Amino acid sequence: MRDSVAFKLVEPSAGGSLYGYQRDRTFGGTALREDTCGWSGCKSKPEATLDGCQLCRNHFYDRAAERLEEYRARLRRIAPGRADHTATLKFLSELISQTTTFVASAKLLDPGQRDKFLKLSLSAVRLYKRINRNARIPLNMPILVYRESDSTGMRELTNTVDVSKQGVCIATSWLWETGEKIWIEKPGNRLRTLARVAWMKKGEPTKYLMGLDILDCEDFWGLDLASPKKRH
């Protein structure tokens, strides 16, 4: 009785770039399908799934780390739309689930590998929490913006576009540097807080849109209906 093995190409999932092979093994007239890693050319056994593609531990880690950094970099540049927000949370949720399950069940993981996968999972958890807690609410209100240290005392009176508990998007005529710290102040009660420029993008012909992370106030906009409190 002869044992025969046949391979067929598995197409990547939508939006993916990974190919793999499914191995159909026939023994005694019975077909037994054995899957291999979805990374092109890799014949290792798959141990985790990402974006619908089964991957070995090394290619799962490489692909997940690359995608995580892509999402993180994108969030630094622009505010995500609703579709991007949903897609990002879906990816992070899958990554957290798959990594946690893999670390708990995988055999022969050395301490270095286990630590690497745990760090990947924790990075995904932090980004998930950051996105989830920063749900934005449309709000148009006047706001003063000025640099943390500026001897000229120049201030811009502009308006907010939307706010979150720990962030804000504002319209501005000035071009700010990503990463720089600036003050934002409510003109009515002069309550102010320090913020960091997270991203800049072109808005109207004479305006920019700027995303800010609030650094020293837990709820500057009063979204929890309590008085803003300084962080300790």
- Are 92 and 121 in the same domain? yes
The amino acid sitting at 22 is Q
Instruction: Give the span between the Cα atoms of 70 and 214, in whole angstroms.
Output: 23
For residue 52, the tally of other CB atoms under 10 A from its CB is 13
Which structure tokens are listed for 165? 């508990």
Residue 230 resides in a domain: no
Question: Looking at 125-191, which runs of residues are DSSP E strands?
Answer: 137-138, 142-147, 156-164, 167-172, 181-185
pLDDT tens digit sequence for 123-153 = 999 888 777 666 678 899 999 999 977 767 7
Residue 156 resides in a domain: yes
- Calculate the alpha carbon distances from 136 to 32, 94, 166, 171 in Å: 51, 23, 10, 15
Domain count, the chain: 2
- Are 163 and 182 in the same domain? yes
Domain residues for 203?
Answer: 137-214
Residue 223 resides in a domain: no
Residue 231 resides in a domain: no
- Are 128 and 170 in the same domain? no
Spell out the residues 6+ positions from residue 14 whose beta carbon is closer than 8 angstroms to its own.
Answer: none
- Are 9 and 35 in the same domain? yes
Which structure tokens are listed for 143? 């706001």
Residue 219 resides in a domain: no
- Residue 19 pLDDT > 50: no
Residue 193 resides in a domain: yes
Which structure tokens are listed for 135? 């749900």
Q: Share the mean pLDDT of the chain.
A: 78
- Are 129 and 161 in the same domain? no
pLDDT tens digit sequence for 50-60 = 888 999 999 99
Sign of torsion over alpha carbons 46, 49, 50, 54:
positive
Query: For the purposes of burial, counting CB atoms within 10 Å of the CB of 104, is it exposed (0-12), middle (13-18) or buried (19 or more)?
Result: exposed
pLDDT tens digit sequence for 63-107 = 999 999 988 887 766 555 555 777 888 899 999 998 888 888 777
- Are 119 and 147 in the same domain? no
The CATH number for 146's domain is 2.40.10.220
